[in-house]
Structure 1
Amino acid sequence: MKRLILMRHAKSDWDHPDLEDHERPLNERGQRSAKALGDWLRAKGYVPDQALVSFAQRTLETFARLNLDLEAEVKERLYLASPDMMYDHLLQAKGDVVLMIAHNPGSAYFADGLVAKAPDHPRFDDYPTCATLVADFDINHWIELEPKTGVTVDFTVPRDLLK
C-alpha cells in the first residue's frame, strides 16, 4: 500500500510586485493555514516519509510550517507543474507515504485524475490554497501507479480547520 498526501501551497503574499512569482512568500493567513495543516496531518497520523516540494518560496515555506520531521526534496520541475509532470515525479518516489506540495491548476487536475471517487467536499474541484488530499493506492511501488485508482482517505482545506 502507498499513500499520497497532495497539498497545494498555502496563501501567498502579493504585497511585493517587484518579486518574481517563484519568490513570493506566504502571507499571514498562509502561515496560519500551513501550521494548521501540519497539526492536522500529525493528529490524523498522516505522517510522510518522503516530501517532494516545488522550489518556489511559498511551497518551501508551506513545508517548513508543517513542522514535519523530514527534509524536503526540492524539485524545480514541480514549479507550476502539469499533472503529467507531477505524475512523473510520483512514479520515481521511494517513500511509502509521500507528501507532494505544488501549485494550481496542476494540483487540482492531478488530484482529480488520481482518485476513483472524489471526496464529498465542495472545494475539491477548485483545490484552494493549502487544500490537502490523502489518497491510498493498492500498489507495492509507485511505478505501478495508474490513474483513477486512488482511494480517498481524507480531504481538507484551511477553512475546515481554522473556524
Structure 2
Amino acid sequence: MPEEKQRRIVLVRHAKSDWPDVDDHDRPLAERGRKAAPAAGRWLADQGLTPDLALVSTAVRTRQTWALMAAELPAEPETVYDERLYDIGFGEQLIALLTETPDDVGTLLVLGHNPVIHEAADTLAGEAEDDGQLARMRGRFPTAAIAVLAFRGPWRRVGPDVARLTAYRTPKDAV
C-alpha cells in the first residue's frame, strides 16, 4: 500500500486588534498587531511554510493580519476569505470546514479568531514533537500565535487527535 501524503495545517490567530467604536467585524489592527503580523509571516517563510491555500476570516483585523503576513512569504498563496470563519462557534465546526479542503492542497493556513483557533489546535493535536510546546499551546493561544500540525491522509479524514503538533510560535518567541 502506498504511503499516504503528509499534509500540514497552519492555524493562526489574528494579530492584536484595536478597539475603536466600530462593529466587531470592522476592528482594525493595533500598532502591536501591525508589528507582529509581518514577523509571523517571516517566521513562516523561514520555516518553509508557504501555504498552498489560505482560508481567512472576513473580519478587518484578520484580512490586515494576512496582508502583512503574506507580504513576507516567497510566493503569494491562493487566498479565500470565508465569512464562516468569522461566525464559527466551536473548534469542531472549524475542523469540519477543514474536511472540505481539496486534496491537491498540501499545506493549509487558517487565519481566524479565538477561542475557535485554539480549540481546533487543541482538538487536532493528538501528539507533539515537543511535549513542552504542546503544553504551552494548550495553555494559551495569544494574538498572532501559530500552531503547525501535520497528519497523513486525505483532508476528509481530519478529526480529533489525528495530527501531530510540529511547531508552536507566539510573538514573544520572536523577542
Q: Structure 1 stretches (4+) deviating beyond 2 angstroms?
A: none
| Aligned equivalent of 2:3 | none
Contact 2:50 2:77 in 1 (8 A): no
1:57 paired with 2:65, answer no
Long gaps (5+) in structure 2? 1-5
Give the CA RMSD over aligned residues: 1.4
1:146 is displaced (CA, Å) by 2.5
Q: How many residues are matched? A: 159
| Aligned equivalent of 1:137 | 151
C-alpha distance in 2 between matches for 1:117 and 1:109: 15
C-alpha distance in 2 between matches for 1:83 and 1:105: 8
CA 22–63 in structure 1, closer or farther in 2 if over 3 Å, else same: same
C-alpha distance in 1 between matches for 2:87 and 2:117: 9
Q: TM-score, normalised by structure 2?
A: 0.86
Deviations 1:79-123 (A, max 9, x none): 142212211221111221000001011111111000112552464
C-alpha distance in 2 between matches for 1:136 and 1:98: 10
C-alpha distance in 2 between matches for 1:51 and 1:86: 14
C-alpha distance in 2 between matches for 1:144 and 1:123: 26
| Aligned equivalent of 2:82 | 75
Contact 1:51 1:71 in 2 (8 A): yes
Q: TM-score, normalised by structure 1?
A: 0.92
Name which of structure 1's ranges 35-44 and 112-121 shifts more when overlaid on structure 2: 112-121
**1:76 partner letter:** E
